[in-house]
């Protein structure tokens, strides 16, 4: 037979042969299925087609009609990442090295023009998502993002991420509870997402099974929403009780933090049955904040220039690393270590042997020398949000370029890349990164620049490839509706809420309240104050427990005289967060104490001279607040508790304190017969404990100080160095203390973690 005829006949027969795989049309995308191969998902509108090689299906992502290494799912993620990084332009790499600010998905699943611009023009592929209207809309929006990215030349998918969104008062939520008009939780219904206690409440369970279940459930909800990276867990050792982000930590114990960090990351990152641990059920964990952000001088926070310095008067820098080096970097499961790390904004003052004092994200010592070289971290390092941006004044929430305030934006980005960081959080434009690339060329040469930026690209691509996004970035909106906030997941979150509640006082068995007794709840008044972001809060009145909800458990009455017992709900003291701004009646702004008591506090025990200080906008480097007075915005909470005690006479007063950080209990504890601590739980959970439907089992995840003197005299970097409060019943409110109906809890948890 003529060879010229034989070859076309072979091709004709091959074309007529049946496909070795099946394809399903989902409307906006299609999936390809073959036994022994990963599910492939693609958008027909993107121009991507399916190649058949060795009888196996592969996506032709760059549309060249050939199977490139990065398209070959049989190869290791490392080989695929190296191949893809080598194909990328420097503009595409700089876009990959950007993490967007938070995007809200509330009105439509369609992309906004701003989103289109940064995905197309700046080549951004890492998108932070905040509020989502519903699971279906979240999934549909994620698919729209992926279809857009797939239509771009190399079809690099988006790695969508979220801050924690499953807490009852979390930062980023998926709508609200559906069944209750007052926003309360219905344990018998479903929610738009499962709800768990805040991080400090998770720690209060002292229960790794709870942490494991949380990770397994929340990671499923994230993947159903098209989210593949969690900007969590926050594993800073909460060594200073005044820090306003205390609520987002897993306690002041480096060892409890370590165990939770390891369990959390294992649960999120592991796909069961995978040889490597990674797969389509995995969610990357970006642990934060290296090397620990809980030691800001005076308890101030580094989101503002007033809190830019972390200090170490106890010479205890090393202990703050334990949750990272012995926890998140030493996982038990096959993924081995958290896939990403976020440094904190702070300047780790005095720690760099070279004498340089710059924010952790700019520090070669903190990132390259310690994190990478000494402790062997292999994953992505992403800055906290906005560190390369400009800022105005120390008390304004804007950019956070601590130690690099006078440098240009491009110079700051160069400094970040020189430090060994891979990614910039909270920016959109890659223009200044391209400038930084040119600056690198001028300093180190073109070959060095390309090698350095490709190195970061490879790390970033690994986190995209290992979770299966190159094969199938699409999610099923109908499945999202079934999975996210399903009854099983909601019930698990609610059980964790119950387990996190800590009973610290129960005088003469005031709890539980059995039977349908009459309850009085006083009206709570809160004076003007400031949010965590130093935005003003107008005065307001509220009934923390709605009458409708209370009436399901007890008979609600309007006066103390009618009542069998009173239920009082307050929050921990809060005020100005360490600074009085000029517009608050002052000729000039000044540093102020952060008070953990309700009544006026004058800082007579503060340092005469601050350990660290200085800023281009300040005339002095002394940030001492000695002699200044702070009064909490919710001082009235204290008076409300005392008035209720007086009005109730000998009848029980049950006090609930919503705790976001330690406080001085002496002003309110004597007025209560029973005290429950809520670390971010629903009122339903509290009432289930109060009514005896659930026995309290939580333990204190931190010390509660006897007074402000011990707060001022403790070291910002040292845990467990305060004199603890002793209540009227003789119990000391120390770490790992808690009561159940029988008395002080002593079990395997206290044996393991109590000091």
Share of the chain above pLDDT 70, in %: 94
Contact, 697 vs 499, CB < 8 A?
yes
477 and 558 in a single domain? The answer is no
State the distance between the two ends of the chain, measured CA to CA, in whole angstroms. Answer: 88
Examine residue 151 and state whether it is found in any structural domain, yes or no: yes
512 and 415 in a single domain? The answer is no
| Window from 180-189, 337-346, 452-461, 506-515 with minimum mean pLDDT | 180-189
d(CA 104, CA 232): 19
421 and 349 in a single domain? The answer is yes
Classify 603 as helix, strand or coil.
coil
pTM: 0.94
Classify 526 as helix, strand or coil.
strand
Check residue 585 and give its pLDDT. Answer: 64
Contact, 299 vs 660, CB < 8 A?
no
Examine residue 188 and state whether it is found in any structural domain, yes or no: yes
Check residue 18 and give its pLDDT. Answer: 66
At residue 171, does pLDDT exceed 80?
A: no
| Cβ neighbours around 729 below 10 Å, total | 12
Check residue 180 and give its pLDDT. Answer: 37
At residue 288, does pLDDT exceed 60?
A: yes
Q: pLDDT digit string (tens) for 231-259?
A: 999 999 999 999 999 999 999 999 999 99
At residue 466, does pLDDT exceed 90?
A: yes
321 and 416 in a single domain? The answer is yes
pLDDT mean over 607-636: 96
Examine residue 233 and state whether it is found in any structural domain, yes or no: yes
367 to each of 381, 417, 729, how far by Cα in Å? Answer: 8, 10, 49
Long-range CB pairs of 164-167 (<8 Å, 24+ gap) are 164/199, 164/230, 164/231, 164/232, 164/248, 165/132, 165/193, 166/193, 166/194, 166/195, 166/196, 166/214, 166/218, 166/221, 166/493, 167/195, 167/196, 167/197, 167/198, 167/199, 167/680
At residue 167, does pLDDT exceed 90?
A: no
Distance of alpha carbon 305 from its chain centroid, rounded?
A: 21
Check residue 233 and give its pLDDT. Answer: 98
| Cβ neighbours around 746 below 10 Å, total | 11
Distance of alpha carbon 293 from its chain centroid, rounded?
A: 13
At residue 612, does pLDDT exceed 50?
A: yes
pLDDT mean over 479-508: 96
> For residue 24, what are its two tokens?
């399903």
614 to each of 299, 305, 401, 611, 736, how far by Cα in Å? Answer: 17, 9, 14, 11, 38
At residue 407, does pLDDT exceed 90?
A: yes
d(CA 659, CA 268): 27
| Higher pLDDT pick, 173 / 595 | 595
Which residue is associated with the tokens 């940064």? 118
Residue 581 confidence class, pLDDT cut points 50, 70, 90:
confident
478 and 516 in a single domain? The answer is no
Examine residue 435 and state whether it is found in any structural domain, yes or no: no
| Window from 306-315, 480-489, 522-531 with minimum mean pLDDT | 522-531
At residue 586, does pLDDT exceed 70?
A: no
Where residue 405 sits, what CATH number does that domain have? 3.20.20.300
Q: Which domain holds residue 193?
A: 98-122+130-429+470-483
Check residue 195 and give its pLDDT. Answer: 94
Per DSSP, the chain holds a count of helices (H) and strands (E) of 20, 32
At residue 173, does pLDDT exceed 60?
A: no
pLDDT mean over 59-74: 98
175 and 288 in a single domain? The answer is yes
Residue 587 confidence class, pLDDT cut points 50, 70, 90:
low
Q: What is the DSSP letter of 434?
A: H
Average of per-residue pLDDT values in the chain: 93
Q: Which residues contact 113 (CB under 8 A, 6 or more apart)?
A: none
The closest alpha carbon to 239, from 220, 256, 261, 222, belongs to 256
d(CA 80, CA 159): 16
The closest alpha carbon to 358, from 308, 312, 324, 289, belongs to 308
Residue 527 confidence class, pLDDT cut points 50, 70, 90:
confident
Examine residue 2 and state whether it is found in any structural domain, yes or no: no
475 and 555 in a single domain? The answer is no
Share of the chain above pLDDT 90, in %: 88
pLDDT mean over 611-635: 95
518 and 381 in a single domain? The answer is no
Examine residue 31 and state whether it is found in any structural domain, yes or no: no
Contact, 532 vs 619, CB < 8 A?
no
Structural domain count of the chain: 2
479 and 533 in a single domain? The answer is no
408 and 550 in a single domain? The answer is no
| Window from 157-161, 283-287, 422-426, 575-579 with minimum mean pLDDT | 575-579
At residue 178, does pLDDT exceed 70?
A: no
At residue 189, does pLDDT exceed 60?
A: no
**How is 190-217 classified by DSSP, letter by letter?**
--SS--B--HHHHHHTT-HHHHHHHHHH
Check residue 185 and give its pLDDT. Answer: 46
212 and 251 in a single domain? The answer is yes
Examine residue 397 and state whether it is found in any structural domain, yes or no: yes
Where residue 669 sits, what CATH number does that domain have? 3.40.50.1700
Examine residue 514 and state whether it is found in any structural domain, yes or no: yes
The closest alpha carbon to 570, from 497, 675, 693, belongs to 675
325 and 425 in a single domain? The answer is yes
| Nearest-5° Cα angle at 391, 389 to 397 | 100
Check residue 588 and give its pLDDT. Answer: 75
Residue 571's DSSP bridge partners are 658
Residue 191 confidence class, pLDDT cut points 50, 70, 90:
low
């Amino acid at each position: 037979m003529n060879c010229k005829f034989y070859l076309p006949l072979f091709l004709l027969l091959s074309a007529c042969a049946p496909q070795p795989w099946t394809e399903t049309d989902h409307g906006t995308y299609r999936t390809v299925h073959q036994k022994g191969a990963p599910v492939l998902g693609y958008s027909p509108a993107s121009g991507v087609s399916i190649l058949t090689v060795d009888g196996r299906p592969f996506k032709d992502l760059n549309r060249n009609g050939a199977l490139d290494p990065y398209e070959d799912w049989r190869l290791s993620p490392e080989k695929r990442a190296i191949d893809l990084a080598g194909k990328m332009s420097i503009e595409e790499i700089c876009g990959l090295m950007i993490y967007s600010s938070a995007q809200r998905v509330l009105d439509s699943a369609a992309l906004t023009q701003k989103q289109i611009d940064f995905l197309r023009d700046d080549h951004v592929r890492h998108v932070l998502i905040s509020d989502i209207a519903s699971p279906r809309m979240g999934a549909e929006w994620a698919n729209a993002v992926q279809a857009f990215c797939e239509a771009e030349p190399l079809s690099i998918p988006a790695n969508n991420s979220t801050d924690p969104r499953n807490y009852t008062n979390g930062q980023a939520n998926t709508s609200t509870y559906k069944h209750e008009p007052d926003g309360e939780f219905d344990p018998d219904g479903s929610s738009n997402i499962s709800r768990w206690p805040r991080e400090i409440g998770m720690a209060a369970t002292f229960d790794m099974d709870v942490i494991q279940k949380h990770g397994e459930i929340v990671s499923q909800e994230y993947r159903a929403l098209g989210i593949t990276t969690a900007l969590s867990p926050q594993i800073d050792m909460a060594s200073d009780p005044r820090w306003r982000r205390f609520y987002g930590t897993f306690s002041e114990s480096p060892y409890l933090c370590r165990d939770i960090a390891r369990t959390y990351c294992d649960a999120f990152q592991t796909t069961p049955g995978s040889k490597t641990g990674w797969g389509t059920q995995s969610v990357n964990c970006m642990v934060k904040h290296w090397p620990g952000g809980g030691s800001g001088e005076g308890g101030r926070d580094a989101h503002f220039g007033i809190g830019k310095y972390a200090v170490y008067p106890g010479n205890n820098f090393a202990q703050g690393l334990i949750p990272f080096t012995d926890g998140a970097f030493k996982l038990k499961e096959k993924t081995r270590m958290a896939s990403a790390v976020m440094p904190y904004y702070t300047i780790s003052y005095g720690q760099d042997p070279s004498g340089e004092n710059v924010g952790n994200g700019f520090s070669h010592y903190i990132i390259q020398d310690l994190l990478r070289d000494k402790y062997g971290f292999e994953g992505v390092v992403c800055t906290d949000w906005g560190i390369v941006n400009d800022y105005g004044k120390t008390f304004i929430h804007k950019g956070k370029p601590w130690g690099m305030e006078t440098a240009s934006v491009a110079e700051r980005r160069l400094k970040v890349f020189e430090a060994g960081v891979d990614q910039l959080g909270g920016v959109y434009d890659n223009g200044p990164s391209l400038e930084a690339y040119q600056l690198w060329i001028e300093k180190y040469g073109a070959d060095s620049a390309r090698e350095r930026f490709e190195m970061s690209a490879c790390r970033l691509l690994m986190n995209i490839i290992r979770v299966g996004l190159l094969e199938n970035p699409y999610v099923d909106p109908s499945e999202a509706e079934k999975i996210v906030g399903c009854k099983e997941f909601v019930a698990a979150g609610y059980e964790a809420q119950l387990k996190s509640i800590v009973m610290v006082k129960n005088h003469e068995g005031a709890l539980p309240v059995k039977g349908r007794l009459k309850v009085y709840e006083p009206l709570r008044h809160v004076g003007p104050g400031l949010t965590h972001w130093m935005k003003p809060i107008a005065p307001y009145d509220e009934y923390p427990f709605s009458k409708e909800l209370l009436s399901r458990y007890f008979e609600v009455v309007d006066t103390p005289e009618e009542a069998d017992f009173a239920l009082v709900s307050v929050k921990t003291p809060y005020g100005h967060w360490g600074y009085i701004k000029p517009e608050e009646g002052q000729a000039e702004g000044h540093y102020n104490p952060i008070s953990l008591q309700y009544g006026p506090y004058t800082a007579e025990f503060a340092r005469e001279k601050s350990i660290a200080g200085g800023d281009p906008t300040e005339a002095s480097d002394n940030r001492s607040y000695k002699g200044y007075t702070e009064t909490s915005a919710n001082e009235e909470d204290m008076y409300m508790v005392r008035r209720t005690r007086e009005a109730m006479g000998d009848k029980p007063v049950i006090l609930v304190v919503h705790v976001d950080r330690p406080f001085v209990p002496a002003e309110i504890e004597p007025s209560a017969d029973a005290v429950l601590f809520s670390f971010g739980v629903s009122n339903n959970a509290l009432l289930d404990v109060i009514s005896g439907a659930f026995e309290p089992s939580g333990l204190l995840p931190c010390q509660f100080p006897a007074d402000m003197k011990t707060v001022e005299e403790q070291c910002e970097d040292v845990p467990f160095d305060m004199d603890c409060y002793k209540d009227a019943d003789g119990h000391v409110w120390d770490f790992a203390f808690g009561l159940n109906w029988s008395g002080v809890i002593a079990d395997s948890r206290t044996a393991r973690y109590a000091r």
